[in-house]
Amino acid sequence: SDLIALACALPKAELHLHIEGSLEPELAFELAAKHGVTLPYADVEALRAAYDFNDLQSFLDLYYAGAGVLRDADDFHALTRAYLQRAAADHLRHVEIFFDPQTHTERGVPMEDIIGGIRRALLEAEAEHGITFRLIMSFLRHLSEADAIATLEAAKPFLHRIDGVGLDSSENGHPPSKFERVFALCREYGLPVVAHAGEEGPPAYIWEALDILQARRIDHGVRCSEDPKLVERLRAEQIPLTVCPLSNVKLKVYPDLAEHNLKGLLHGGLVITINSDDPAYFGGYVNDNFIACIKALDLSETDIVQLARNSFTASWLDDAAKARLL
């Protein structure tokens, strides 16, 4: 339809993308062969068929296993380059991407190779396609705060190449308050903070992300709807939510996209954005998420334009760059 064509063609930003979650099965097998490692699946089709999740944890188990084929800077470069080609095709003009260093340093991959490979692809895409970027280092919340602090220390020589920090992985049982000290350190280092909260976890975790970690944007955040005072705060302070519709359906946060609350939150005046989260695993990139929402939620032209604008408003671009894109 015309609305789908409009959504696809509009300039947009993506603010919630785990680069490891953009690993398509074809590249996973290519890198496995390169490094002489065996994936526990016969072929690309068998791996893709395994992407049938019950919840966040069942996805994370596969996501961390898949990341095991990423071993050197060229792998991270190839991964990021493939994502950015999709980003350009979807008319993304700006991306803010997460990487999970602990997944890789644990396997002996040097921090320098991870960051260096990702950044090389980001700089190439900026030159080739004009896509600007921010790079966000995310801590794994299922690990200890001490492990996060050690990771921050290991990243210290590269902090000029990192634009902010985030918090992801298994949410329930791992509240933001568990990471109060490491995020205080990050803020001392001048790093802006975002955090996953209210995806599977309760509204209290969103409050903690805001008040204890001083997050300036919430990743997912959809469970805010259970707490009207929280919704009012997110609206009053215009704290953006990076919503990931196809992810939420794949991980059974919502039984069906038609049940999703993003349109209601958008109409309530919250700064809602649409993102892909882990596109290789959840069945689509940014435009696929827009198309699915247009179909399931009957979004209007005004909604679509607002969502695209919000993606720039909620970004970490400076005001001059936002003014050019809005």
The yes or no reply on residue 96 touching Zn ion (CB under 5 A) is no
Name which of ligand HPA, Zn ion, none residue 199 binds, using a CB cut-off of 5 to 8 Å depending on partner kind.
Answer: ligand HPA
Q: Which residues pair with 276 in a beta bridge?
A: none
Residue choice 20, 24, 277, 288 for contact with Zn ion (CB under 5 A)? 277
**Contact criterion met (CB below 8 Å) for 243 and 220:** yes
The yes or no reply on residue 100 touching Zn ion (CB under 5 A) is no
**Contact criterion met (CB below 8 Å) for 265 and 225:** yes
Please give the Cα distance from 7 to 23 (Å, whole number). 25
Cα-based torsion angle of the residue sequence 162, 192, 251, 203 in order, rounded to the nearest 10 degrees: 160
Please give the Cα distance from 169 to 154 (Å, whole number). 20
Minimum distance of Zn ion from residue 18's CB (angstroms): 5
Using Cβ positions, the residue closest to ligand HPA within the complex turns out to be 168
65 contacts: CB under 8 Å, gap ≥ 6:
40
Residue choice 14, 24, 278, 303 for contact with ligand HPA (CB under 6 A)? 278
Other C-beta atoms closer than 10 Å to the C-beta of 254 total 17
User: Which tokens go with 35?
Assistant: 């490094």
Minimum distance of ligand HPA from residue 277's CB (angstroms): 5
On whether 104 is known to bind a ligand per the annotation, the reply is no
Which residue lies nearer to ligand HPA by CB, 134 or 141?
Answer: 141
Q: Which of 14, 24, 96, 199 is catalytic?
A: 199
Active site residue 30: no
On whether 18 is known to bind a ligand per the annotation, the reply is yes
The yes or no reply on residue 242 touching ligand HPA (CB under 6 A) is no
On whether 174 is known to bind a ligand per the annotation, the reply is no
| Binding site listing for Zn(2+) | 16, 18, 196, 277
For the annotated binding site, the residues are 16, 18, 196, 277-278
